[in-house]
Amino acid sequence: MSQAQPPTTFGVSTTAAEVVDGIDLHGRRAVVTGASSGIGVETVRALAAAGADVTLAVRDTDAGARVATRLEAVLPPTAGKLTVARLDLADRSTVAEFVAAWSGPLHILVCNAGVMAFPELTRTPDGREAQFAVNHLGHFALTVGLHPALAAADGARVVSVASIGHLFSPVVFDDLDYRFRPYDPWTSYGQSKTANILFAVGAAERWAGDGISVNALMPGNVGGTSLARHVDPQQLAGFIDLAGFALPPEKTAEQGAATSVLLAASPTVEGVTGRYFEDCAPSRLVTERAGAVAGVAPYALDQGNAARLWTVSQSVLGESGTPA
């Protein structure tokens, strides 16, 4: 995979607006999932400010419309057009409807939506564990379904928002849905985030010939977002202490969106694919979780794991990989 390195001026405190400064995205079309709050909003803001036409793919279209209206009031006159469309990643039918409704090329797809740490085992209507289903399977179905549109864009970029939480667990292929092992909110979240990275590795391998770059990232420790709405702070503190884990320094939403926007739009990563980034730079490998506040686990970049996950995901969703 390509080893391009972003400017050294980009780092932990870089904002999304700083990343797109001087970049012209007019004529580009983008989709951002989970765009009604947090770093999703800031990702939309930066891409639209640079001229991209952005579709906010959201579960709650009323909330998405409010965000679009708020952004349109402050974006420059040269900004791209904002559109709101319904997408519920836990509901395969809405994924299929979104894919079917899309026409023409798609230059940027940011798979940003996610859920974290349901306190109790939660399943989707088709029986899948909810964190894995929403964070990975929904985005897998969406991206594979949009593959023709991405291939038509001649240089499309797919961005998979993962997390340092992938260090909580590899993908446990023999028990994805917690039918044998006791449910744990954090290992469940961890395997879904590992899957986000493995998807980028697998798609990069398969789609390089189509000119599609696919990368994953850790946005940072961004507080106050809707992602943490299910989290019990005491439970999280206990887990961190038990696991010997440490949280990286907290970022603002504008800073948290920077790495997503870098991978979506910056010429400094042109041709880079199948990588995992954090703080606007490629991550280093780590070999154990204890004390880690950054880095990527080898199992999350393993080509064999990526190929197995792709096969399993296709099996779950149907041979085409799109929703039944």
- Catalytically active residues are 189
Backbone angles phi, psi at 53, to 5 degrees: -85, 120
- Per the CB < 8 A criterion, the answer to whether 200 and 256 are in contact is no
Q: Which residues pair with 222 in a beta bridge?
A: 251
Q: For residue 114, which of 236, 196, 170, 13 has the smallest C-alpha distance? A: 196
Q: Which tokens in the block code for residue 72?
A: 């349109």
- In what helix (H) or strand (E) does residue 161 lie, and over which residues does it extend? strand 157-161
Q: Which tokens in the block code for residue 296?
A: 């990527």
Q: Which tokens in the block code for residue 227?
A: 């992602």
- Per the CB < 8 A criterion, the answer to whether 16 and 89 are in contact is no
C-alpha 324/C-alpha 317 separation (Å) is 6
Q: Which residues pair with 53 in a beta bridge?
A: 29
